[in-house]
Each structure stands twice: as C-alpha cells, then as structure tokens.
Amino acid sequence: MALEDAILDEIRAALALDVARNAAFDGWSAEAVTMAAAAHGVDPDVARLAFPDAVEMIDAWFAHVDAAMLAELPPERLAAMKIRERITALVEARLALLAPDREALRRALAILALPQNIARAARLGWRAADAMWRAAGDTATDYNHYTKRAILAGVYAATVQVFLGDESHDYADTRGFLARRIDGIMRFERVKGQLLGRGRDRLSLSRFIGRLRYPST
C-alpha cells in the first residue's frame, strides 16, 4: 500500500513484519525501524513515531501475526472442524507464521520477560488467546470466557518455549507437545463444572481469572 499519507496505525501495520525481520539481526531497535521504513519509502522519523520503543514494535508484530492467522484460517474453513481441531489449527498456524523469525521471537520474549514489561506481556498473551477462541467460535461471556483464555494463553506460552528449541522435522516435537496440552484443555472443559464447585467458589475463580485479563500496570 502507498504510505505517503498513511496514519501511524497504518504505518505500524505495514512495517511490523519487516521490523521483526530486521530485529533478528539488529535487535528490537530504532535501526530495525529505520531499515523497514527505508524499504517502504516511509520517512524514518515518522516510522519511529509509530514504533516509539521495543515493546510497541513487538506489539505491532504480534498484531500482524493475529491478522495473518485469521486470514489463513477463515470462518468457513474452521467451521468444518471440531473445536479441538480448530484450536490446534490456530496455534499451529501462529507457529508457522513465526517459524521464519524464531530469532526475532526469542529476542522479543526476552524483552517481554523484563519486570517492567510483565503486565504488557500478559495482555499480549491474553490477546492471542482471545483471538484464537473467538476464531474458534467461542461466545462465552461468563466465567468460561476467562478460564478458556487463561488456560490457552498458558498452553500457547509453554508451546512457544518448546518451539523455540525444536530442531525436529516439521516441528514434530512441538506438535506432539501441543497435542498433549490441547488434550488437557478438552478434559478440563468436560469436568469444569465439577471442579468449580458451588456458586460461591465459581464467582471467586472468575474474579481471579478476570485479573489475568486486565492485569494491573
């Protein structure tokens, strides 16, 4: 797209992937943004306004991955799958999109693990899980909304750690790890009512998981 008159959000979306590709070599830095801007004919000063710091660069890249995942698996394709297959396909699609940029991802996670970025990292993990559950057709608005996303966010984070070190053919080790964790999610969904117990306990759990969705800054 032509970016001469683009607003900052449009510049972020257009440059996000190139910034990530550059970050594999130059880190999540102003240099990575400058190089991406040059490739797209964007004023580097304007590009730096769109990406003021490393966390904003990572946020934009993850948003790009969210959008690309949804484009890869449109509703009509997911509709033919069972819920377990939908979640598995969505996570695997995310990992396939990230596969060419594992070094950038490794550097991004190191930045997000810093104490000052923990809350932002939690929000980004929640956003990814929410995007996947919504794409899978989940419409829950009660405590189920929170439990599903909290559990999937944890599964996804653990799977990414396996993925970063996986040298097996076609990421077979990661796929196996993910399949076992998805089994756990499905078992939990089947027995959740019993695990939550009476209404008072259920309300308490929903408040706790609600804090995961909106962590304090």
Claim to verify: residue 64 and residue 48 sit in the same structural domain: no
Q: What is the pLDDT of residues 126-148, one digit of tens each?
A: 999 999 999 999 988 888 899 89
Residue range 92-118: mean pLDDT, rounded: 98
CATH of the domain at 121: 1.10.357.10
Domain that holds residue 16: 7-52
Q: How far apart are CA 60 and CA 53, in angstroms?
A: 11
Residue range 8-19: mean pLDDT, rounded: 96
Claim to verify: residue 185 and residue 85 sit in the same structural domain: yes
2 in a domain, yes or no? no
Q: What distance lies between CA 79 and its chain's CA centroid?
A: 22
Claim to verify: residue 101 and residue 15 sit in the same structural domain: no
Residue with tokens 């948003």: 63
Claim to verify: residue 117 and residue 134 sit in the same structural domain: yes
Query: Helix %, strand %, coil % for the chain, to 5?
Result: 80, 0, 20
Claim to verify: residue 115 and residue 150 sit in the same structural domain: yes
**Phi and psi torsions of 211, nearest 5°:** -65, -25
203: pLDDT strictly greater than 50: no
126 in a domain, yes or no? yes
Question: Residue 103 contacts by C-beta under 8 Å, 6 or more apart in sequence?
Answer: 24
pTM attached to this predicted model = 0.85
148 in a domain, yes or no? yes
